[in-house]
Structure 1
Amino acid sequence: MRRYFFVSLLLAPPVFAQQLPPPPPEAKSACEGQPQGQRCEFIAPHGKVSGQCRDVREGLLCVPDSMPPMLNRSNQRNDQRNKPPKRAKIDIDATTNDAVKTTSRIPDTNQGSCFDNHQKIPCPPKDDAFYGQDAHYAGATPSYTQDKSGTVTDNVTGLMWQQAHNPQRINWYQANQACESLTLAGFKDWRLPSIKELFSIIDFRGVVGQRAYLPDEFDIRPPASLSKNDPFAANHRPEMMGQTWSATKYAGQHWDDPNVEAAFFVNFLDGRIKQAPTRGREGLFYRCVRGPAWGENQFVDNNNGTVSDKMSDLMWQQQDDGKPRNWQEALNYCKGLTLAGHTDWRLPNVKELQSIVNYQRPAPAIDTASFGVSDPAAWYWSSTTHGDDISQADYVCFGKCTSVQGIDVHGAGAQRSDPKLRGARVAQQQGGQQDEIRIENLVRCVR
Structure 2
Amino acid sequence: MSTKRTVVPPFARYVAWQLLLASPLGCEIVAGIEPRRLAPAAAPESVCTEITGAGFPDSATRFCSDGAFAVSCDDTSLGAGQDGHVLGVLPSYTEASFGEVEDGGVRDEILDLVWESDAAPAPVSWEEARARCEKLGGGARLPSRVELVSLVDYGRDGPAINPSMISVPTSSTDLYWTATTAMDGVWVVGFVDGSMTSLDRTLTARTRCVIGPPRALCFEEGADGETLIDERTGLVWQRVSTPEVSSWQGALAFCASLMLGGASGFRLPSIKELVSLGHGEGEDPTSAATSFLDEEGRFWSSTPVAAAPSEAWLLDGLTGRIDHQSVAVKARVRCVR
Mark yes or no: TM-score above 0.5. yes
1:416 and 2:323 aligned: yes
1:168 is paired with a residue whose SS is: coil
1:193 aligned to 143, 165, 172, which one? Answer: 143
**TM-score normalised by structure 2 residue count:** 0.76
Deviation for aligned residue 1:388: 2.5
Q: Deviations over 1:211-251 (max 9, x none)?
A: 4434530001333xxxxxxxxxxxxxxx432x00001111x
Q: Distance in 1 between matches of 2:331 and 2:74?
A: 23
Residue 219 in 1 paired to residue 167 in 2? Answer: yes
Q: Write the mapping of 1:429-444 to structure 2, written as runs, cut at 5 A.
A: 439-444=329-334
Matches within 5 A, 1:354-369: 354-357=275-278, 360=284, 365-367=289-291
SS state at 1:365 partner: helix
* Cα gap change, 1:367 to 1:150, in 2 (>3 Å): same
Structural mapping, 1:11-410, within 5 Å: 103=53, 105-123=55-73, 128=77, 130-147=79-96, 149-182=103-136, 188-208=138-158, 211-214=159-162, 216-223=164-171, 239-241=172-174, 243-250=175-182, 252=183, 254=184, 262-280=185-203, 283-294=204-215, 296-302=216-222, 303-357=224-278, 360=284, 365-367=289-291, 376-399=295-318
**In structure 1, C-alpha distance between the alignment counterparts of 2:220 and 2:124, rounded to whole Å:** 40
Is 2:181–2:285's contact at 8 Å kept on the other side of the alignment?
no
Whole-Å separation in 2 of the counterparts to 1:313 and 1:115: 27
What is the alpha-carbon distance in structure 2 between the residues aligned to residue 442 and residue 390 of structure 1?
20
What is the rounded CA distance, in whole Å, between the counterparts of 2:152 and 2:238 in structure 1?
25
Distance (whole Å) between structure 1 residues aligned to residue 73 and residue 151 of structure 2:
25
Offset of residue 125 of structure 1: 5.4
1:367 is paired with a residue whose SS is helix
Q: Secondary structure at the match of 1:198?
A: helix
Match of 1:62 in 2: none
- The alpha carbon displacement at 1:109 in A equals 1.6
Native 8 Å contact 1:214 1:268 kept in 2: no
Give the 3-state SS of the residue equivalent to 2:220 in structure 1.
strand
AA aligned opposite 2:325? D
SS in 2 for 1:328: helix
CA contact (8 A) 1:132 1:335 kept: yes
Distance 1:276 1:204, change over 3 A: same
SS in 1 for 2:331: coil
Q: Would you say the 8 A contact 1:363–1:398 is kept in 2?
A: no
- How far did residue 366 of structure 1 move? 3.4
Q: Matched residue of 1:217: which SS?
A: coil
Pairwise CA distance, 1:270: 2.5
Deviation, structure 1 residue 197: 1.0
What is the rounded CA distance, in whole Å, between the counterparts of 1:334 and 1:103 in structure 2? Answer: 22
Per chain length, whose mean CA-contact separation is higher, i.e. which structure has more relative contact order (CA < 8 Å, sep 6+)?
Answer: 2
Compared CA separation, residues 124 and 218, structure 1 to 2 (3 A): closer
Displacement, 1:169?
1.4
Q: Give yes or no for contact 1:109–1:203 (8 Å, CA) kept in 2.
A: yes
The 3-state SS of whatever aligns with 1:170 is coil
Assess, with a 3 A threshold, how the Cα gap between structure 1 residues 113 and 212 changes in structure 2: closer, same or farther. closer
Task: Please report how far the alpha carbon of residue 364 of structure 1 lies from its aligned counterpart in structure 2 after TM superposition.
Answer: 8.4
Contact in 2 for aligned 1:327/1:393 (Cα 8 Å): yes
| TM-superposed deviation, 1:353 | 0.6
Name the count of aligned residue pairs.
277
Counterparts of 1:383 and 1:313, CA distance in 2: 18
SS of the residue 1:175 aligns to: helix
Relative to 1, partners in 2 of residues 1:135 and 1:398: Cα closer, same or farther, differing over 3 Å?
Answer: same
* 3-state SS of 1:244 partner: strand
The AA in structure 2 aligned to 1:200 is S
Aligned residue type for 2:267: R
Q: In the alignment, what sits opposite 1:95?
A: none
Question: How far 1:417 moved relative to its partner?
Answer: 0.5
Identity %: 30
Q: Is the 8 A contact 1:244 1:286 kept in 2?
A: yes
Cα 1:384–1:140 shift into 2, 3 Å: same
Query: With structure 1 as the length reference, what TM-score do the two structures score?
Result: 0.58
Task: State the match for 2:28 in structure 1.
Answer: none
Q: Partner residue of 2:42?
A: none
Alignment-mate amino acid for residue 273 of structure 1: M
Q: Deviations over 1:390-411 (max 9, x none)?
A: 2111111112xxxxxxxxxxxx
